[in-house]
Every structure is written in C-alpha cells, then in structure tokens.
C-alpha cells in the first residue's frame, strides 16, 4: 500500500486517541476470554492468571513495535506491510502467507467455541449439528451480503460488557460467601495446583488468542488525528487495557474454581456461570457468548473470503477460482463456501488445538514486526536519524524472543501444519517470482484487515 499522492482523495482524520482505543477493544471481543477459559485453566493446572500475565507481557512489547511501525509509516497497514517495507518484499510475502492461515482457520475456531458451549447446554443434540448450523447460517448471510446493523453492533458490545461485569461481580460475591473477603487475595490463580512452567507457557500461547486483533486499529491510521503520536499510544493502551480485563476475569474466575479440572474444559465458563449465578445467569451468559461468537464469525468469514478474492484478482491465487464474484449477489460466494468447508474441520478438533492453528500465523507475524523495528533502527541510524535504542532495539528484541518462545509452545500438530503451510508459501513465492528473481506480488492482507475493521466499527 502506497501513501496517497497529491490530488487523490484522502480519508478524514477524525479519530482521536479515545476513539481508537474503544474501537480496538471492541474488535478484540472481550467476552472471548471466558470462551477459552477452561482450556487455559486445564492446560496450566489452574494458573490461568499467570498465562495471561505472560501473554500480556508479550503483547505489550509487540504492541510497542506496532506503534513504532505505525509512526514510521502513517498509512493504513499491517504486519505484512511493515515487514515488506522494512525487511524485504519476500519476507513480507511469507508474513502475509502466514497470516492467511489465521484468516482461513479463525472462522472455524469461532464456530467451534460456540458449538462447544451449545453442546454443553443441550447435550442431546449432536455437537457436529451446531457446527454445521453455524457454518450454514453464517455462509448464507455473507453470500447474500447481509451486514449487522450499526445499532445492533453497539448493543452487542454493551451486552458483552454487561455479561463480563456480572460474571466478575458474581464471582467476587461467590468467593466472599464461601471464604470471606480475605479469600479475594490469593496467589492460587497464579500458582495453580501442581502447575509447571511448561504448562503455564503453553497456556500463555493459547491465551494469546484473546489478544488477536489488538493491532487492527492500524487500518485506521489514515483516519487518525496526529497518527504518529496517537497510533502508538492507542495500540499500547488497547493491549494494556484488554490484557487487564483478561487478567481480572481469569483471576476472579480461578478463585471460584481453583485448579483445572472441569466436566468439559471446552465449556467450563458455562459450568462456572451456573455455579455463581444459577441457571438464569447461565442462560444470560450463554446468550451473550453465542451472540458474540456469531457476530465475530460473520466478520471473520467475510474478511477471509475478501482476502482470497483479492489474491485471486491480483493473480497470487488462480483467478478463475478465487477472483470471481457472484453475478447475483456481488459477493465472493465460492470463497465463502470454501471458508465454510474449512470450518467443517471443527467437527474433528478441540478448542486447544484449533486456537493453536491460528496462533501460529499470529506469532510469526508478531515476531517479524518486532524484528522489523530493529532493522528499521539500524537502517535509519546509518542515515543519520537518531532513535532511542531502548525502544527500537531492546524492547522489540525482548518481544521477538517472547513471541518466538510462545510459538514453540503451541500444539505440535499446529507447528507441523504451520511449517507445511510456510513451505507451500515458499513454493508459491518461487513460482510467482520466477525462481525468486522478481519481486513477489503483493498480498492484499490490508484489504481484508480493513474489511473486518469496518464490520467491527459499524
């Protein structure tokens, strides 16, 4: 993506720091932390708060790097854009290719989490039927081009915050009733019951799923007021506030249910919701979670199909398959069906493995953005531009080490799949660049980011 030239229309800069932060938090879907709480608590043996603390540290260093890049390139961008411009177009291509894996699997994970909770509430209905229902309804709505109304989106966000607030308050009340006010102060959510360093870091690798999208605000750089100042602050605040919310939820929920043993870890939060608020709050919680998952699923499938369409249109993927729109609905119907077909894998996977699939691409992108800041520093220092080495070398180096380490803590199957996917990307890169002799074609990741960002902002 190139900066707008003179004479071209530009976006209105109307988004201040507060607007940017609120948008970023809304995009992250805060209720998701409860959707995967049981999986993280089970993986960490009850030390979910420590897992979120480690994930938050990784995200803060990475958020700082995104802020540095957003200030350096004050146009709408993404990890792909930053790596392509700073390191090398080929490295940028592989970064975009890794992110494509996220786009393909994110709808599946969203549908799987929703199906797991409905299956727990209605055990008589086969789990695969819920998955199929999510896929069919979401795909049909996206094919015909129906969008969630503006007011519905605001109400949905308000409902999420209400459910989260009630969950925390009821959790605190439950702990006070059973253990007194002193029970609210405990190291148990951080130490767990027999927790290990390996288990906690593996949980942190899964917990990073909750942070996905904190960087989406960079797609609004061209609409931000004073982007060189406000964008770095906004990205850091989004990660910090979001992480604080996740940490409070994990801490209070783990106080109610110490350890990581559940009837079903995939739907543990529903079990706890009924414990702290009875069947009525259990129903309210389930409704909030499913509504949030449904809206997120629509946006995720739409953005994945848009990315595939853009890649087909530009020739990165076969144009005859991916670069076509439905003549009737003017939507990438074939791509939507394809993303829905990938979602069928949810019938054979669990939540922990599926989230690892998408976190692979995220950690690759996060690591390379951190590296990009270091490369940017040394290139511009040679040109005589003074930069703070703490912000441009030390912080991103720490971020790169943490995100690389968390990547290695992912499910083995996810790592194998991710490496195979990157191997395929190298083959595609070799073909499209005529044996690496030409620059690779651009991957339209920014277009897909903008698509889902617009959906979240409505």
| Residues in contact with 216: Cβ distance below 8 Å, sequence separation at least 6, in sequence order | 24, 27, 449, 452, 453, 456
The whole-number average pLDDT for the span 405-429 is: 91
Q: Is the pLDDT higher at 167 or at 382?
A: 167
* pLDDT value at residue 363: 93
pLDDT of residue 453: 47
Could you give the percent of the chain with pLDDT greater than 90? 44
pLDDT of residue 281: 95
Which range is least confidently modeled, 1-5, 51-55, 254-258, 418-422? 1-5
Rounded Cα–Cα distance for residues 238 and 224 (Å): 15
Which of 2-6, 124-128, 179-183, 200-204 has the lowest average pLDDT? 2-6
Are 108 and 293 spatial neighbours (Cβ–Cβ below 8 Å)?
Answer: no
Q: Mean pLDDT across the stretch 265-293?
A: 92
pLDDT at 6 over 50: no
Q: What is the mean pLDDT of residues 350-361?
A: 84
The 8-class DSSP code of residue 3 comes to P
Confidence of residue 328 (pLDDT cuts 50, 70, 90): confident
For 395, other C-beta atoms within 10 Å of its C-beta total 21
* pLDDT, tens only, 63-92: 999 988 888 887 656 788 889 889 988 888
Determine the Cα angle at 200 with ends 179 and 26, to 5°: 80
Stretch 363-383: mean pLDDT, rounded? 90
Report, as an integer, the average pLDDT of 397-408. 95
Higher per-residue pLDDT: 442 or 320: 320
Q: Is the pLDDT of residue 399 over 60?
A: yes
Rounded to whole angstroms, the Cα distance separating 254 from 41 reads: 8
Q: Are 446 and 78 in contact (CB under 8 A)?
A: yes
Structure tokens at 255: 């106080």
Q: Does position 157 have pLDDT exceeding 70, yes or no?
A: yes
Total residue count of the chain as it appears in this document:
458
Domains (ranges, CATH) in the chain?
17-457 (1.20.1740.10)
pLDDT tops 70 at residue 183 = yes
The mean pLDDT of 187-193, rounded to a whole number, is 94
pLDDT of residue 428: 86
Report pLDDT for 232: 87
C-beta atoms surrounding 259 within 10 Å: 17
Q: Which residue has the tokens 């994110």?
A: 106
Tell me what the mean pLDDT of segment 372-400 comes to. Answer: 88
CA-based nearest residue to 407, from 358, 371, 364, 373:
364
What is the distance between the alpha carbons of residues 52 and 37, in angstroms, rounded to a whole number?
Answer: 10
Per-residue model confidence (pLDDT) at position 159: 83
Q: Is 71 exposed, middle or buried (0-12, 13-18, 19+ CB in 10 A)?
A: middle
Confidence of residue 455 (pLDDT cuts 50, 70, 90): very low
317 vs 50, more confident: 50
> What average pLDDT does range 91-107 have in this prediction?
87
pLDDT band at 458 (very low <50, low <70, confident <90, very high): very low
Look at 138-147, 195-204, 211-220, 424-433 and tell me which has the smallest mean pLDDT.
Answer: 211-220
Which pLDDT score is estimated for 317? Answer: 75
Average pLDDT over residues 146-173: 78
What is the average pLDDT across 216-228?
Answer: 74
Model confidence at 117, pLDDT cuts 50, 70, 90, reads very high
Which tokens in the block code for residue 247?
């940490």
What is the pLDDT averaged over residues 245-261?
94
> What average pLDDT does range 85-102 have in this prediction?
88
- Decide which of 312 and 390 is more confident: 390
pLDDT at 37 over 80: yes
| Residue 69 token pair | 């890049």
Residues forming beta bridges with residue 15, ordered by sequence position: 224
Q: Write down the mean pLDDT value for the chain.
A: 85
Instruction: Please name which of 200, 240, 107 lies closest in space to residue 406, comparing C-alpha atoms.
Output: 200
Residues 6+ apart with CB under 8 A from 167: 34, 249, 252, 253, 269, 273, 276, 285
| Rounded Cα–Cα distance for residues 100 and 258 (Å) | 37
Write down the pTM of the prediction.
Answer: 0.82
DSSP codes, 238-291? HHHHHHHHHHHHHHHHHHHS-SS--S-GGGHHHHHHHHHHHHHHHHHHHHHHHH
Distance between CA atoms of residues 47 and 247, nearest Å: 11
Report the Cα–Cα distance between both ends of the chain, in Å, rounded: 24
Query: Residue 432 above 50 pLDDT?
Result: yes
pLDDT at position 35 over 70: yes
The pLDDT confidence band at residue 145, using thresholds 50, 70 and 90, is confident
Percent share of the chain, pLDDT over 70 = 88
**Per-residue pLDDT at 373 exceeds 90:** yes
* Contact assessment for residue 210 and residue 28, using Cβ atoms and an 8 Å cutoff: yes
Contact 62, 240 (CB under 8 A): no
Q: DSSP characters for 374-432?
A: HHHHHHHHHTT----HIIIIIHHHHHHHHHHHHHHTS-HHHHHHHHHHHHHHHHHHHHH
């Amino acid at each position: 993506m190139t900066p707008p030239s003179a004479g071209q229309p530009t976006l209105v800069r109307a988004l201040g720091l507060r607007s940017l932060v609120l948008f970023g938090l809304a995009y992250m879907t805060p209720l998701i932390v409860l959707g995967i709480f049981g999986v993280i608590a089970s993986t960490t043996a009850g030390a979910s708060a420590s897992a979120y603390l480690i994930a938050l540290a990784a995200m803060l260093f990475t958020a700082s790097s995104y802020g540095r890049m957003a200030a350096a390139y004050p146009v709408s961008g993404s990890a792909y854009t930053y790596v392509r411009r700073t390191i090398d177009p080929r490295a940028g291509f592989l970064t975009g290719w890794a992110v494509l894996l996220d786009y393909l699997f994110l709808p599946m994970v969203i549908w799987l989490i929703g199906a797991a909770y409905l299956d727990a509430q209605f055990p008589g209905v086969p789990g695969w039927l819920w998955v199929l229902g999510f896929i069919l309804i979401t795909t049909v709505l996206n094919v015909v081009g129906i969008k969630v109304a503006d007011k519905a989106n605001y109400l949905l966000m308000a409902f999420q915050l209400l459910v989260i607030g009630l969950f925390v308050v009821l959790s605190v009340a439950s702990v006070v009733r059973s253990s007194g006010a002193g029970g609210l102060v405990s190291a148990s959510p951080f130490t767990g019951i027999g927790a290990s360093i390996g288990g906690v870091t593996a949980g942190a690798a899964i917990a990073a799923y909750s942070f996905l999208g904190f960087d989406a605000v960079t797609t609004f750089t061209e609409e931000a007021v004073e982007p060189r100042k406000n964008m770095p602050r906004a990205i850091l605040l989004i990660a910090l506030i979001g992480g604080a919310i996740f940490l409070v939820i994990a801490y209070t929920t783990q106080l109610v249910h110490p350890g990581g043993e559940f009837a079903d870890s995939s739907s543990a939060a529903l079990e706890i919701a009924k414990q702290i608020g009875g069947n009525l709050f259990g129903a309210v919680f389930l409704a909030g979670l499913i509504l949030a998952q449904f809206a997120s699923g629509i946006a995720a499938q739409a953005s994945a199909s848009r990315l595939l369409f853009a890649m087909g249109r530009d020739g990165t993927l076969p144009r005859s398959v991916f670069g076509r729109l439905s003549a009737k609905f003017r939507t990438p119907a074939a791509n939507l069906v394809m993303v829905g077909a990938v979602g069928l894998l949810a019938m054979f996977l669990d939540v922990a493995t599926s989230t690892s699939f998408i976190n692979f691409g995220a950690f690759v992108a996060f690591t390379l953005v951190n590296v990009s800041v270091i490369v940017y520093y040394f290139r511009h220092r040679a040109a005589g531009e003074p930069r703070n080495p703490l912000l441009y070398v030390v912080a991103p180096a720490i971020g790169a080490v943490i995100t690389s380490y968390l990547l290695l803590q992912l499910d083995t199957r996810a790592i194998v799949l991710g490496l195979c996917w990157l191997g395929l990307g190298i083959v595609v890169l070799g073909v499209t660049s005529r044996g690496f002799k030409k620059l690779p074609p651009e991957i339209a990741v920014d277009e897909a980011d903008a698509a889902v960002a617009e959906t979240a902002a409505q």
